[in-house]
């Protein structure tokens, strides 16, 4: 399959409020997670070349449930848009609820094959990001870190942050990569395609 075509025309399956509501736990899934407003939904739209597929917003807290998408013609291969964590302005009870949704998804979903951890390159590696990385290392779950919104910085600045993050993220051997990315100008898109194909299609 030609790299750039794989994720185009992905389809929306549905939006689910909890782990119990999710469709059958068979096939393979890659979950997009990270802090609120880091650009998880935008990355899915960049990847699938469909700006309307996952709902995005300037206001953090847009994605409030687990949203499932499947590849065109391959319904058993799915992309998962998770709610964001760490957004201080939503109520404590909402934050707890979203945290629970994410925790349950990560810990109970058998189809999960890897995580795409998305950070705003200007605010990388917050505690919650580090917790996700630790979880991946402990559970031997492959992960890919996208330092998103790199269009907001110069190439030099982005490169230097990439170098720093690479030094800070190390640990037990599990497949991982770290890329600078921009869902606005599509920097890193072909590398994202390549990594996702490795995680999802092999
Ligand atoms: N400049 C720039 N803006 C971006 C980029 N990616 C996303 N954004 C913007 O960041 C805001 C948040 O994007 P979303 O994709 O909704 O972020 P999210 O992580 O899904 O947010 P929640 O669902 O609220 O957790 C939107 O205004 C996007 O247009 C990027 O690469 N560059
Ligand atoms: Mg979102």
Cα distance between residue 60 and residue 41, in whole Å: 11
Residues 6 or more apart from 188 whose CB is under 8 A from it? 146, 150, 179, 180, 181, 182
Residue-wise pLDDT tens digits, 66-112: 999 999 989 999 999 998 887 666 677 777 777 888 999 999 999 99
DSSP 148-196: E-GGGS-HHHHHHHHHHHHHH---S---EEEEE--TTT-TTHHHHHHHH
pTM (two decimals): 0.94
- In angstroms, the Cα distances linking 80 to 83, 111, 162 are 10, 11, 25
Please give the CATH architecture assigned to the domain spanning 3-201.
3-Layer(aba) Sandwich (3.40)
What residue segments make up the domains of the chain, in order of their start? 3-201
One pLDDT digit (tens) per residue for the chain, 202 residues: 445 588 999 999 999 998 999 999 999 999 999 999 999 999 999 999 999 999 998 887 777 799 999 999 899 999 999 988 876 666 777 777 778 889 999 999 999 999 999 999 999 999 999 999 999 999 999 999 999 999 999 999 999 999 999 999 987 778 999 999 999 999 999 999 999 999 998 7
Pocket residues: Cβ below 6 A from ligand 1: 36-42, 56-58, 60-63, 83-84, 148-149, 151-152, 182-184
Centre of ligand 2 to C-alpha 201, Å, is: 24
Cα distance between residue 177 and residue 183, in whole Å: 18
Cα distance between residue 95 and residue 85, in whole Å: 7
């Amino acid at each position: 399959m030609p790299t750039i075509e794989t994720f185009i025309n992905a389809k929306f399956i549905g939006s689910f409020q909890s782990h119990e509501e999710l469709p059958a736990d068979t096939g393979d899934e890659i979950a997009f997670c990270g802090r609120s407003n880091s650009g998880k939904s935008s990355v899915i739209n960049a990847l699938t070349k469909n700006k309307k597929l996952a709902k995005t917003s300037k206001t953090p807290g847009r994605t409030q449930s687990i949203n499932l998408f499947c590849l065109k013609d391959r319904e058993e291969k799915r992309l998962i848009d998770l709610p964001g964590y760490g957004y201080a302005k939503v109520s404590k009870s909402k934050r707890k609820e979203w945290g629970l949704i994410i925790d349950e998804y990560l810990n109970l979903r058998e189809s999960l094959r890897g995580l795409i951890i998305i950070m705003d390159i200007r605010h990388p590696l917050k505690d919650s990001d580090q917790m996700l990385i630790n979880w991946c290392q402990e559970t031997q779950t492959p992960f890919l870190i996208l330092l998103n919104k790199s269009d907001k910085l110069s190439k030099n600045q982005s490169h230097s942050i990439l170098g720093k993050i690479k030094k800070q993220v190390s640990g037990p051997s599990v497949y991982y990569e770290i890329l600078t990315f921009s869902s606005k100008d599509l920097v890193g898109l072909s590398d994202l395609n390549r990594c996702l194909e490795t995680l999802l299609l092999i």
